[in-house]
Amino acid sequence: MERLRDFHAHSNYSDGRFLDAMVAAAEDAGLDGVGFADHCNVSAREEAREYAARYGFNLDVTHERRRRAIRRVREDASVAVYDAVEMDYDPRDETEIRAFLADAEFDYSLGSVHAVDGANVQVAANFESMDDADRDAVVDRYFERLLALIRSDLFDVAAHVDLPERTPPLRGRATDEQYRRVARAFADSRTVPEVNAGRALTESGVVHPAPAFLDALREEGVPVTVGTDAHVPDELRERAAFLDDFLAERGLDPVEPDGV
């Protein structure tokens, strides 16, 4: 019987732990495979370059070195190990993203909307002083950018497709109509959304996509892939077990990204 594969984990080539420790965790979790999709931003815009420098997201420079490291860990691993990337998406950067992905030749790519109007949507402090109308507008702009990501045809996977749910001031503000619009866009695209367990075991218990969003995807016949979004070994083990149960309970049969 085929076991779970985790297509979204991080390593020390962005904000995770050493590759060998993360691979060992995947083996401990009984996975069939683990994909390292480290953060990457290739925008030439000063704001984006400062953000990447601040957090050490420089896979655009180190991906060949990481590829050599992945080849080495594959030699001893009992699980498949994939060479992937998680790209920050902004419509203004599509030319740079397309050129980088064509040149780097990853096994597959994830695209993520992390920011709206320069504000990281995961940082609650960015939105605490806003009134309800302004918060709703942020969520609306997030989904507009997500639609642009899907329609760009740049990525194999769209990561954590309702990221504002992680953020208390923005949580619960997405509408059924926004979910349906995005689901229809996925139905017409090669890009697939992921079931992402990055906040599933926290107090908030957020699983991406939210239940109403997942229902909309299923109604449109949109397949999903899966990712723990783990940064440390214990996260990978715990979230992999959670995803096994989550998929079984909901009768989901995840697909692999193009390129795998």
pLDDT digits (tens, 9 = 90+) for 140-152: 999 999 999 999 9
| CB contact at 8 A, 162 and 171 | no
| CB contact at 8 A, 159 and 194 | yes
Which has the higher per-residue pLDDT, 2 or 162?
A: 162
Give the mean pLDDT of 42-63. Answer: 88
pLDDT at residue number 55: 80
| Position 63 in a domain | yes
pLDDT at residue number 233: 98
| Position 123 in a domain | yes
Range of the domain at 245: 5-249
| Position 196 in a domain | yes
Which has the higher per-residue pLDDT, 53 or 87?
A: 87
Domain count, the chain: 1
- What is the residue whose two structure tokens read 């992921």? 194
CATH number for the domain that contains residue 139:
3.20.20.140
Amino acid at 110: L
pLDDT at residue number 48: 85
| Position 257 in a domain | no
Q: Is the pLDDT assigned to residue 2 strictly greater than 80?
A: no
| Position 255 in a domain | no
Q: What percent of the chain has pLDDT over 90?
A: 93
Poorest-pLDDT segment among 29-33, 48-52, 109-113: 48-52
Give the mean pLDDT of 2-24. Answer: 96
| Position 242 in a domain | yes
Q: Is the pLDDT assigned to residue 24 strictly greater than 90?
A: yes
Q: What percent of the chain has pLDDT over 70?
A: 99
- 76-92: b (≥16 Cβ within 10 Å) or e: ebebebbbbbbbbbbee
pLDDT at residue number 77: 98
Give the mean pLDDT of 212-223. Answer: 98
| CB contact at 8 A, 225 and 195 | yes
Q: Is the pLDDT assigned to residue 234 strictly greater than 60?
A: yes
Give the separation between CA 169 and CA 161, rounded to whole angstroms.
Answer: 17
**In this predicted model, what pLDDT tens digit does every residue of 8-17 receive, in sequence order?**
999 999 999 9
228 pLDDT band, cuts 50/70/90, is very high
pLDDT at residue number 51: 81
| CB contact at 8 A, 208 and 165 | yes
pLDDT at residue number 111: 98
**In this predicted model, what pLDDT tens digit does every residue of 88-142 receive, in sequence order?**
999 999 999 999 999 999 999 999 999 999 999 999 999 999 999 999 999 999 9
| Position 260 in a domain | no
| Position 254 in a domain | no
